Amino acid sequence: MKEHIKTISKNKKAYFDYFILSTYEAGIELYGTEVKSVRAGNVNLKDSFCSIDKGELFVRGMHISPYEKGNVFNRDPMRHKKLLMHKREIMTLLGKVKQDGLSLIPLSVYFSGSKVKVEVGLCRGKKLYDKRAVESKKQADRDIQKTLRDRNRY
């Protein structure tokens, strides 16, 4: 049985600022009005990151806008949200983050079936010269594709 996956939000800045070494899927602990707001697509991952406190994984800086019709049940949009992963996975991530100096960055938020999931990336930061190299490679690929497209027209 194939699960239906619907992407809600992607962290494009993370792909620009970091090398993504590996990705993990985590559930997220949300309250009712937050889920309704996520369904409406009101999620911003731009400056968010993940941290491990007392053996639990949290996402910080993730903004979920208050639900318009939620009145007193709305939560703080910037509260720290708990991510749900197996303890084993969290401990291996903690070891990699502490030892290798890597970062945990949320890459996207999506629905897998009816559950909200977060894709967390184990990332290494890019230096300025890395960003330039990646950008020049993308530009070269675009130029090649444009040349091939123009050549095939005639």
Domains and CATH numbers, the chain: 5-126 (2.40.280.10)
Instruction: Tell me: pLDDT of 16 over 90.
Output: no
Q: Read off the pTM.
A: 0.79
From 37-46, 72-81, 107-116, the region with the lowest mean pLDDT: 72-81
Instruction: Tell me: pLDDT of 94 over 60.
Output: yes
The residue assigned the tokens 């070494």 is: 21
Query: So what's the pLDDT on residue 2?
Result: 56
- Give 69 or 39, the one with higher predicted confidence: 39
Instruction: Tell me: pLDDT of 86 over 60.
Output: yes
pLDDT digit string (tens) for 24-41?
999 999 888 888 888 888
| Average pLDDT rounded to a whole number, residues 99-126 | 89
Query: So what's the pLDDT on residue 72?
Result: 73
| In the chain, % of residues over pLDDT 90 | 37
How many CA atoms are closer than 13 Å to the CA of 25, on its beta-carbon side?
7
From 28-32, 72-76, 80-84, the region with the lowest mean pLDDT: 72-76
